[in-house]
Amino acid sequence: MHRFFIPKECIKQNKISLQGEPAHQISHVLRLQPKDFIVVLDNSGWEYEVKIEKASRELVQGRVVKKDFCANEPAVKITLYQALLKIDKFEFVLQKGVEIGVSAFVPFVSERCVTRKPAESKIERWKRIIQESAEQSQRALLPALSPVVSFEEACQQVGNLAILLWEEEKSSRLSRILKSDSFQEAQTFALFVGPEGGFPLSEVKYAQSHGIIPAGLGRRILRAETASLAAISAILYEKGELG
């Protein structure tokens, strides 16, 4: 069944009413018709099974026939602080990160970033990628996308257990941190991944001064986007949330 995140106000007393892009998507792109079923989500954690009653390009209406709490969200909330990458790689991290189970994305600009701060239209595109990936992978909540911040701002805003992947860190490995008591108890977690050229030592030290722990991923050198996804997979696996 197709899944759609919709604004909360589109659900009223067991009736849904959609206009604009979602109506066009349902009636015209997917060619769904009255009596077809869809699942809608209002980003509250609940999912609503809906029987379509009217479907035109301008307006789709339907009736909620079932309401369930969706248990697909990981209990551990990972915020991925991802340096801007070349556009296709950044979008790749968003799409795959949502599937694997990231809860929020904070894009940042650091010293070695070669990609400029994106235009507003790009941010809208990123939000669509996140939404489509969340619908396809059956997430119950829509991962948040923060505005682009500087590396320093990113470091200043983390309050919880935070790790920074650094390929030159040989003594502190990610696995050791993930098996520590503080991680095992943690319900929120921040992961910092740098741009294609990595972090210079000065940035690593700045992060450390804000309590962020540098960690290596092992002996092979992973591209930035691969490092993000491998680390997220490892974190969620360790927490029993993947596999």
- Site of interaction with a second copy (CB under 8 A): 71-72, 96, 99-101, 136-139, 173-175, 178, 215, 217-223, 226, 229-231, 233-234, 236-238, 240-243
Which of 77, 96 has the CB closer to a second copy?
96
Which of 99, 152 has the CB closer to a second copy?
99
Question: Nearest CA to 194 among 174, 173, 161, 223?
Answer: 223
Least gap, CB of 120 to a second copy (angstroms): 28
Q: What would the DSSP string read from start to end of 7-57? A: -GGGEETTEEEEEHHHHHIIIIIS---TT-EEEEE-SSSEEEEEEEEEE-S
Least gap, CB of 101 to a second copy (angstroms): 6
Phi-psi region at 62: left, alpha or beta (left = phi > 0; alpha = psi -120 to 50): beta
Give residue 128's identity as a one-letter amino acid code: R
The DSSP element (H or E) to which 59 belongs, if any, is strand 59-69
Which of 147, 243 has the CB closer to a second copy?
243
Which of 117, 223 has the CB closer to a second copy?
223
Which of 188, 233 has the CB closer to a second copy?
233
Least gap, CB of 93 to a second copy (angstroms): 11
Least gap, CB of 100 to a second copy (angstroms): 5
Least gap, CB of 57 to a second copy (angstroms): 28
Alpha helices for 101-150 (secondary structure H)? 120-136
CA distance 192 to 151: 10
